[in-house]
Structure 1
Amino acid sequence: MAAVILEARGLTKTFGGLRAVDGVDFDLRRGEIHALIGPNGAGKTTFVSLLCGRIAPSSGTIRFEGRDITRLPAHARVRLGIAYTFQITSIFPRLTAFENVAIAAQRLGSRGCEARARAVLERVGIAAEAGARAGDLSYGHQRLVEIAMGLALEPRLLILDEPTQGLANAEVDRFAALIEGLAGGATILLIEHNMDLVMRLAERITVLDGGTKLAEGAPEAIRADPAVRAAYLGG
């Protein structure tokens, strides 16, 4: 079994009287594709926002590669190798697709960021759009620019929040092939409603419901779990 790259223990986030995330224990194994699923309002986005440092937990701990990062801000976690793409696009609309990705690459502080930006745009299948203003691209292509920005950071952990939202079927297939190609080299946490894609890509799945962990396991076990079927999958 692969070593654990990230672990959360007792992770909790309250907003007033609401417990959006309630005492969740969670492990990510190095090099795996791990999916996080659950009904709307289950706490998925709050949970990954805690992992990437966008918000601070009310209680609990997070460790990344053995280091306590519970109170580290998001930008410090990026430097450690954690990249997070948002559920809603977070590009610079007035800049070109290439400039968006090059800016992300520059955050590594190393040379060759322009070459890396071009290579990543090619990898996600939108090299032809490199010179286009990002704000003028289709929503699906804007999502691909954002994924390219995440990849340009050369992360050890890539968190993808609803990455296929707005993508055409052919683009979803290309995305799946991209993620399969990344497997092993980076750990990927995928928050996704497309269950066919989740079942295709994920080695393990965690199900949240009401801010708590309802189930966790291999895709076939999750698909057969009565509690998961009742809360989310239906039937």
Structure 2
Amino acid sequence: MAALTPLLKARGLKRHFGGVKAVDGVGLDLGPTGVHALIGPNGAGKSTLVGLLSGRITADAGIIEFAGRDITRLPAHARVRLGIAYTFQVTSIYPRLSVEDNVTLAVRHPSGDVTTAARAALARVGLDIHARQIAGDLSYGHQRLLELAMGLALTPRLLILDEPTQGLAAGEIAGFSALVRDVARDASVLLIEHNMDVVMDLADRITVLDFGRVLASGTPDAIRKDRAVQAAYLGA
């Protein structure tokens, strides 16, 4: 069976900040569906790589292709229109607006039916009953779900989740994991996550960064057994 053509393909990505090689020749393939986790120690270059993929940081070198198109120099807002959605490590909601208004502001829906798209996204994450509530009054876990709804309302082909379980209770993590599995049936999910139980449970493939370079990439089982990864990150 032939391998699926990657939805996103990155080759030779570099971004240096002075003498710091935050990302130093990274390559990455993301399939059209499924969950690909990005892990590594603090300072490994994960946030910089995500910035490069989302268009929030400009690459010094390398190429990024999305659905066969070169997007290396495309700004972030243009990548969103192509189907790349990104949720932040720290919640970025509008705390004084209603839950529904938060999602409505995020939507650039091709049908023009913004309200329908917003309500569908809220229902998908279980926040439809809170649609009229002020976003800042939500619990932290619900605020994280609201940000996820803001991403889902864009009907993304690629959803980038940056530390989405940070601050969530165990029960909230279980619900989040079920939601990600559902999303990954029809879209590609790039998961940046420190919770290794979540990573090993959700990921189809894992890429490990260390000092701005790819240390290893493979299935969860292969990554778990990789001695270089154990020494650098897993602590085994």
Shift of 1:71: 0.4
Q: Matched residues in 1 for 2:235 and 2:135: separation?
A: 38
**CA RMSD across the alignment:** 1.0
Say which SS state the counterpart of residue 30 (structure 2) adopts.
Answer: strand
Shift of 1:131: 1.5
Q: Matched residues in 2 for 1:149 and 1:35: separation?
A: 21
Instruction: Spell out structure 1 runs of 4+ moving beyond 3 A.
Output: none
Q: Matched residues in 2 for 1:136 and 1:144: separation?
A: 13
Report the equivalent of 2:33. 31
Q: Matched residues in 2 for 1:9 and 1:115: separation?
A: 38
Q: Matched residues in 2 for 1:168 and 1:121: separation?
A: 20
Matched, 1:171 2:172: yes
CA contact (8 A) 2:109 2:117 kept: no
Report the equivalent of 2:95. 93
Question: What amino acid is the match of 1:134?
Answer: A
Shift of 1:159: 0.4
CA contact (8 A) 1:38 1:208 kept: yes
Matched, 1:200 2:201: yes
Moved more, 36-45 or 131-140: 131-140
Q: Matched residues in 2 for 1:125 and 1:172: separation?
A: 14
Moved more, 68-77 or 112-121: 112-121
Report the equivalent of 2:226. 225
Shift of 1:119: 1.8
Q: Matched residues in 1 for 2:232 and 2:182: separation?
A: 32
CA displacement 1:47-72 (0-9 Å, x = unmatched): 01100000101111101011110000
Alignment of 1:137-152 (within 5 A): 137-152=138-153
Q: Matched residues in 2 for 1:171 and 1:125: separation?
A: 12
The count of corresponding residues between Structure 1 and Structure 2 is: 234
Alignment of 1:67-78 (within 5 A): 67-78=69-80
CA contact (8 A) 1:79 1:108 kept: no
Report the equivalent of 1:84. 86
Report the equivalent of 1:156. 157
Matched, 1:7 2:14: no
Unaligned runs of 5+ in 1: none
Say which SS state the counterpart of residue 51 (structure 1) adopts.
Answer: helix
Question: What amino acid is the match of 2:180?
Answer: I
Moved more, 91-100 or 205-214: 91-100
1:60 maps to which of 33, 50, 62: 62
Q: Matched residues in 2 for 1:191 and 1:212: separation?
A: 16
Moved more, 129-138 or 143-152: 129-138
Shift of 1:108: 2.3
CA displacement 1:105-142 (0-9 Å, x = unmatched): 2x225332212212211211222222221122222211
